Structure 1
Amino acid sequence: MQFQSTAPSRERTPLLGRRAPLRRVAWLSSFCVVFAVSGAAVLLAVFPASAQSTDAPAASDPFAGVEEMVVVGSGQAEALTTSSTSVTSFDALKLESLGVSNVSDVAAYTPNLEIRSASSTTATFFIRGVGLNDFTANASSAVAVYVDDAPRNLPAIQLGLLYDLDKIDIQKGPQGSGPGRNASAGAIRIYTKKPTGEYDAYLNLDYGNFNLIDVEGGLEVPIIEDVLGMRTAFRVKTRDGIVTNRCGGKSLAEVSVIGQSICGEVPRSDLNSPPAIRPNLEKDLNNTDVWSTRTSLRFLPPIDDMEWNLVGHVDRTDQLGPVGQHFGTNQPSLGGGDVNSYAAREVSRELDQIRAGLNIPTVGDCRLLPRPARDQCLANRQTLLAQADKKLSKNLANRPLDKLPFEGDYNTPGYERQTSGGFTLQGEWQIGSIVLKNITGFERYDRERLIDADYSPNTLFEFHIEDDAWQVTEDLRVGSDLEFIPVSWNAGAFYLQEELDYFQETIATRGFIDPVRQEYLQKTKSFGVFFDVSWNLLDDLKLDAGVRYNWEQKRFEAEIFRGAGLTPSCGTFDPQLNAFPPCQRMETVDHPTGTVALTYDFDEMREVSFKYSHGWKGLQYNARDGSVASEVTDVADPEVIDAFELGFKGEWLDDRINVDGALFWYAYQNYQVFTFTNNPRSAPVRVVINAEDALNFGAELATTLRPIEGLTADIRFGWLETKFLDFTDSAARPVPGSTEFFRLVFDYNGNQLPNAPRFKVSGGLEYVFDLNRLGRITPRYDVAWSDDVNFDPSNGLGAPDASGNQTKPDNTIGQQAFFMHNLSVRYISPSEQLEVAVWARNLTNEVYKTLAFDASGGPGFIGNLVGDPRTYGVTFKISY
């Protein structure tokens, strides 16, 4: 069945004279080509005399020596690396053994890394407690995400499929200097496989439960030997839904009954009203349907030590919208009814079972007793009922979720559709000791979503969202080794320009929430220049230092309408424009950042380092719901962080023991915190505000052990202490017995930062059984444990009630500590051309939350997103 949107149709008129998308894309494509050609011209024009080799053999053979260019400018000569930093790396083999599908999958196995995803096209990133838990389309993360050294700045293009990779590097700590955009938390760098000049091909097929079909393949062909090579790869992943919709699959006759609820919805009142549940809704939700393809060209021109790589990709997502679990907050505080008195049937059953076990007297039983025994009985009844409510709330928070976490009642399955694509052109030229590098990037996406955000059979609030965006980036670098002193330097400039066009309609038909329509245009320009130096002060002592100047300008233009009549939130009607003027704001900010590090080498295998970094993250615009006109286009100020780190790493016993660790301490100013507004008559609005002061400190340790041949053990540990030092927020609450509201202040001082579990431990164990002529078999076991984690600043308690009391249990807006176990057994043939594996992930079928939000102030519920259940399957891989 093709799902039809319940969102009202509309004509999207241009806001403030926007260009049509196709015209804009054509202009941008031309702009990117000019940028790329200009970069090539710069590389070809600099030091022209050096382009001609003086070596006689090279003069007779313009391609002589080209086979040595497997890695251009490697080692000290390249001088384009940033200063010493903590890095966790995953190579292609490790990613395959862990079953990594997208970058969020590596978080469980990386100390002090948290990645939260609300869907296939939205994610938030946290490194060492630093990050922005904002799923809005215009959010700029504190963690920079790069693919082949080109940034993916907007959230919609950061969480694509991973395939045909060389490695993933997770750089921890503020990126105070070096190439690329500024990032106050760290960076995730994804490197795809490039043509090597050899024929290569592989095909990988996964089949698993929930009808998982995951196909990945790659093909490399040398087009012109030693000059031009091509590599193309793809991945297609489909999986049936893991959540059963009890409102799905109903016939027209079933949903047309008057006065009878089908799946918990408010029943149809008369023949003139449409059925609350549409017939033949999808039954299996939270499915997967994504694909991606990528082609890489590698060109080695007849110029010594020059290389060009062009990578283009197209990605597509077309699946149902994400759904989660709905817990009402109206008596009891977790598990009661919402504003429609809806509660899932399994939650109501559990409450009845708890009450039955307490032998609670009925009102009738109490009335049979004489006074004062009657009053005592009624008081005892209320006490026992409160105990039952408290017991249910704790069960739902700490189990977590209800007893049927993969079932629910949903009147709108929704959809998520996105098409994205782009290219990266990278040029590199080494001229003597000087290395020149150019990276030009272009990305674009177009997305439409219909989200049943209340996770219930009634339309409390749903979001119909359309957004499209483009970005263009240019990164120019130059570096060299000095001949007369042991110093390497590199310098460069970075530019980013992007434009985001966003529309959101909050659909609310029950009358408890005001409808809202938001449309905004955000234009961003970002510029940076940097200079780094690396100086070997002594044979065993090295100084790395760098500075960067960061400049950013954002223009925000919004039209926001609220209420049944869609009243404009700011401005008055302009008869000349025949429209209400948009809310407009433009801000320009700049800030210098820097890094300094000292590294001492005990010997070639062991070192210790001390590093200071000053990081910065630019401003963040909010598009509020218009309930307060002065806050329609408010801004979260830039975030500043000072970080101190003591790092160490080493090898012992002929590489049988590898240790890599760090101790760190961070101090913040204007820490950007993501919150949901929690006001009456409003759907939760995602906004970013500033905490005046916060700090964290902690440690990381990664150890690899190879005690005997064939046996490898990995142990990774993270410790994080975080605290808000100066942070308050507020929300509207009704005055008891009145239609008026007052502002209730939330004091978060002393609370833990969101998405910053105190401890994380993970490990892996594998042993290679060498069967000689029969090949080899490798069983592998991976385990990950995470401490309690909070999803908001309230320490997981959610918003207080109108009296300012915290009535919800711990982990209401968080996840209790839990384990995750994975197991696989892989067979590799003697020729290594055939691989077969069986695997199981989440072996113990652990139930866990990936996200939760508090909507108790208006709609009266807590929303929860649920992690995948146990999955298992088989993998076949053929290589050539």
Structure 2
Amino acid sequence: MISHTRLPKLRLGSAIALALATVPSLALAQQDQADSTAHTLKNVTVTADKRPEDIQKVPMSISVVDPEKLAAYGASGDTLVQLAGRSPSLQVESSYGRTFPRFYIRGLGNTDYDANASQPVSLVFDDIVQENPLLKGFPMFDLDQVEVLRGPQGTMFGRNSPAGVVKFDSAKPTEETEGYAKVSYGTFGTANVEGAISGKLGNNGWTGRASFLVQHRDHWIDNAYTGKHDALGGYNDRALRLQAMYTGEDFDALLSAHVRDYDGSAAIFRPNAVQQGTPALVPGFDIDRVASDGRNTESVTSWGASAKLNWYRDGLTFTSITGLERVRAFSLGDVDGGYLASAGAPVWAMPSSALTSFSQTADEIPQHRQITQELRVANDAEARLRWQTGLYYFYENIDINNFNYDHTGTTRTAAVRQHQATSAAAVFGSLAYRFTDRFDVRAGLRYSHEDKDYTVQRFYGYTGALGPIDVDQGDAHWSGDLTGTFTLTDRVSVYGRFANGFRAPSVQGRLTGKNNISTAKAETINSLEFGVKSTGLDGRLRFNADVYGFVMHDQQVTAVAATSNATDLVNIDRTDGYGAEFDLEFSPNANWAFTLGGSYNETEIKDPDLAVAACSNCTVLDPRNANRRALIDGNSLPRAAKYIGAFTARYSLPVGDTGEVFAYTDWNYRSKLNQYLYNSVEYNSKAVLLGGLRVGYNWDLGKQEVALYARNLTDRRVIIATSSFISRAAMVNDPRIIGVEYSLHF
């Protein structure tokens, strides 16, 4: 239920005044600033309210990543993890390599690495929620844009969206025949080939679009244990999307199908990589070498289909959205990253990777099925009173196998089977009423109910066979939002938004290293946000900013075991958060374009009695209870960077009548963050600044282009994840990738 819990005390008045002070002055905005080279920014349309709407008219904190930014990442084979820091308050990480991305908004996320882990950030691809973390890793290609909706989205998107939504929209079929092809090649044999073709399918109202992606990287990491050069780090990633769209007088339909086939290296663990007493990598760290006695392999196959149908009758729109998603996966990794010293060490092996214990683990999804169905009806979007209401159904059935292996990664020593069936249903509605030309109100409400049946059994390993253990969970919640918007001028508006959301109960039953399962009850959040949206300089400047505060009760978090590859779910009694965010776009003339975004996010755990196991090979800064567990009251949340910033700049110079030379650079910054619930010196990752550059020439009115690119331009080594239970192991980012790309648009 929507509660009236008091939000953290914020100096909201001062913050709003500061935000308003940075808005372009109204006098300046209404002066004639135009010159012969000036041009206006493109209008940005979003569907945060499940209706197409100008981003400046949506009273919510939203950022959009446009196709040019996405193209800059894609040439080097970047994954969704590269969205980290590209939008205020957004972080993304993975301990699975190129799969299983974990999203964080305003410091709220989930570090759980089990294959049935839920997240408080929902990912929606072409109106279909991607619930399982392996589904969320579908590669980025042929996209129209990516929307980041910050704050609870409990009305329109429902369960498991208390932190926000990341929404992907693919490019749609077109009437005119068009398409593109891109080919790039870079360092380490990094190759990217993608393309699309779109046009009419006869003369009967049907259009279609086919798009594909092929990505490859050679193995580039030497295994010093086996003596094999270029043994790890490579991958092959292939994806295909097919769409067919029918447009009639009072009916339209969009049918879509997609498939992904990935094989390559799982995450590469670097043992003893974090220096004792510091959060830095050890001196002499070599990104090109590991010394592993185990196996490393990963494969993911996912496929799905959807149908979006719209009927138009008497000023009403009836919509049906049906989705099917399936995924199969297997990931085997040398989690300790080194070799077992007692088993003997080859001459070429590095002594620093010798370990007294080992961990070789694998996760498998042999069976998975997700079905979703949404039905809704909405009136005319231009009406004074706008409304929509609908029903939603979600069903997921998944099997998960967890395995332990001997130190060589060839003989299984433990086997666990998890099965989970989840069904959820909801009814929702929203209203928007324009009282005057300057003031309108929006309100929404959703009732959700969920049932979860869970079974886990260990067949052998650890202390022997165990189970089956059954857990049945059920819960129901109300969520909603209330927003008021006041238009100061045609170019400046302010809004206030209260929103409520929840994440459904969860189960953790990874029994390869423990004898008990853990459960977490539903988490709930109340959030308050005040913002300003503005344009100026004759449409060449767009500036949006907001301040927010939230209180979350019973937040679900993952406590990582100190001595084994196991985790436990726990609920935090209360979590407070507050901060500020802004997005700025500026195009002073036809040659230059800039974007700048940033956020300040503060989170605090408020639970005096909550204690978690802490690492035994690091410097723990928290007080301990009688059982030597770390008391985490007052800590910030894991991976909740206080500061995030993103900057892009593009310069272009016309060449002849149809050509252009251009340079594009993008940079993102995040401040230091904690890897775990407890505070320690070693696992408090340092601040990082990463950048990219793209320089090229296009001709024939942009139809052809050749460009040189560089990702991780300064070749920074960044710890993106760690493993603390055997050694101070780290996973690091990709090294600098330099390459060339050619593209053709027709």
1:707 matches 2:563: no
1:241-281 per-position Cα deviation (integer Å, ceiling 9, x unaligned): 34322123x4xxxxxxxxxxxxxxxxxxxxxxxxxxxxxx5
Q: Does the 8 Å contact 1:204/1:217 carry over to 2?
A: yes
User: Partners in 2 of 1:684 and 1:626 — Cα distance?
Assistant: 8
The DSSP-based 3-state class of the residue aligned with 2:70 is: helix
1:653 matches 2:537: yes
| TM alignment of 1:510-549, pairs within 5 A | 515-549=413-447
**Residue 83 of structure 1: how far off its partner (Å):** 7.0
Matched with 1:5 is none
1:318 matches 2:318: no
Matched with 2:648 is 764
1:128-176 per-position Cα deviation (integer Å, ceiling 9, x unaligned): 0111111211012111111111111100110111111111111110112
Q: Which of 59, 63, 66 is residue 88 of structure 1 equivalent to?
A: 63
1:608 matches 2:494: yes
User: Partners in 1 of 2:388 and 2:446 — Cα distance?
Assistant: 12
The DSSP-based 3-state class of the residue aligned with 2:657 is: helix
**Residue 627 of structure 1: how far off its partner (Å):** 6.5
User: Partners in 2 of 1:744 and 1:427 — Cα distance?
Assistant: 58
**Residue 312 of structure 1: how far off its partner (Å):** 0.3
Q: Does the 8 Å contact 2:603/2:637 carry over to 1?
A: yes
User: Partners in 2 of 1:878 and 1:140 — Cα distance?
Assistant: 40
| TM alignment of 1:546-585, pairs within 5 A | 546-561=444-459, 563=461, 567-570=464-467, 582-585=468-471
Consecutive unaligned residues in structure 2, runs of 5 or more: 1-44, 341-356, 617-625
Matched with 1:188 is 166
**Residue 99 of structure 1: how far off its partner (Å):** 3.9
Q: Which of 730, 740, 743 is residue 874 of structure 1 equivalent to?
A: 740
Matched with 2:352 is none
- Structure 1 755/731 Cα, relative in aligned 2: closer, same or farther at 3 Å? closer
| TM alignment of 1:774-793, pairs within 5 A | 775-793=659-677
Q: Structure 2 counterpart of 1:677, which letter?
A: A
The DSSP-based 3-state class of the residue aligned with 1:451 is: strand
The DSSP-based 3-state class of the residue aligned with 1:138 is: coil
The DSSP-based 3-state class of the residue aligned with 2:292 is: coil
Matched with 1:686 is 567
User: Partners in 1 of 2:592 and 2:363 — Cα distance?
Assistant: 51
The DSSP-based 3-state class of the residue aligned with 1:109 is: coil
Consecutive unaligned residues in structure 1, runs of 5 or more: 1-70, 251-280, 329-333, 335-391, 571-581, 735-741, 798-809
User: Partners in 2 of 1:839 and 1:866 — Cα distance?
Assistant: 21
**Residue 600 of structure 1: how far off its partner (Å):** 0.8
User: Partners in 2 of 1:684 and 1:508 — Cα distance?
Assistant: 14
1:618-675 per-position Cα deviation (integer Å, ceiling 9, x unaligned): 011011437664xx23211111111010111101111222101110101111111122
User: Partners in 1 of 2:234 and 2:181 — Cα distance?
Assistant: 24
Give the fraction of aligned pairs with identical amino acids, expressed as a percent. Answer: 23
Matched with 1:146 is 124
Q: Does the 8 Å contact 2:182/2:194 carry over to 1?
A: yes
**Residue 544 of structure 1: how far off its partner (Å):** 0.6
User: Partners in 2 of 1:714 and 1:72 — Cα distance?
Assistant: 18
User: Partners in 1 of 2:605 and 2:649 — Cα distance?
Assistant: 38
**Residue 93 of structure 1: how far off its partner (Å):** 2.3
1:83-133 per-position Cα deviation (integer Å, ceiling 9, x unaligned): 732111012223113447432212221111011112222121100011111
1:515-558 per-position Cα deviation (integer Å, ceiling 9, x unaligned): 53211100000111101000112210110100000111111111
User: Partners in 1 of 2:646 and 2:102 — Cα distance?
Assistant: 21
User: Partners in 2 of 1:510 and 1:417 — Cα distance?
Assistant: 20
1:672-718 per-position Cα deviation (integer Å, ceiling 9, x unaligned): 11221124xxx221332111111111011111122233211111111
What is the TM-score with the length of structure 1 in the denominator?
Answer: 0.73
Corresponding residue pairs, total = 670
The DSSP-based 3-state class of the residue aligned with 1:592 is: strand
The DSSP-based 3-state class of the residue aligned with 1:210 is: helix
| TM alignment of 1:29-68, pairs within 5 A | none
Query: Which stretch of the first structure deviates more once superposed, 176-185 or 821-830?
Result: 176-185
| TM alignment of 1:9-24, pairs within 5 A | none
Q: Does the 8 Å contact 1:122/1:159 carry over to 2?
A: yes
- Structure 1 452/655 Cα, relative in aligned 2: closer, same or farther at 3 Å? same
Q: Does the 8 Å contact 1:320/1:413 carry over to 2?
A: no
| TM alignment of 1:42-441, pairs within 5 A | 84-99=59-74, 101-118=78-95, 119-179=97-157, 181-225=159-203, 227-248=205-226, 250=227, 283-301=230-248, 304-327=249-272, 393-394=276-277, 397-399=279-281, 402-441=284-323
**Residue 826 of structure 1: how far off its partner (Å):** 2.3
Bigger fraction of residues in strand: 2
1:791-820 per-position Cα deviation (integer Å, ceiling 9, x unaligned): 11123x1xxxxxxxxxxxx2x223201211
Matched with 1:748 is 632
Bigger fraction of residues in helix: 1
User: Partners in 2 of 1:124 and 1:814 — Cα distance?
Assistant: 18
User: Partners in 2 of 1:870 and 1:413 — Cα distance?
Assistant: 26
The DSSP-based 3-state class of the residue aligned with 2:113 is: coil
Q: Structure 2 counterpart of 1:826, which letter?
A: G
Q: Which has the larger radius of gyration?
A: 1
Aligned CA-pair RMSD: 2.8
- Structure 1 510/292 Cα, relative in aligned 2: closer, same or farther at 3 Å? closer
Query: Which stretch of the first structure deviates more once superposed, 864-873 or 90-99?
Result: 90-99
Q: Does the 8 Å contact 1:560/1:626 carry over to 2?
A: yes
Q: Structure 2 counterpart of 1:775, which letter?
A: G
User: Partners in 1 of 2:269 and 2:283 — Cα distance?
Assistant: 10
Greater RCO (CA < 8 Å, at least 6 residues apart): 2
User: Partners in 2 of 1:772 and 1:690 — Cα distance?
Assistant: 63
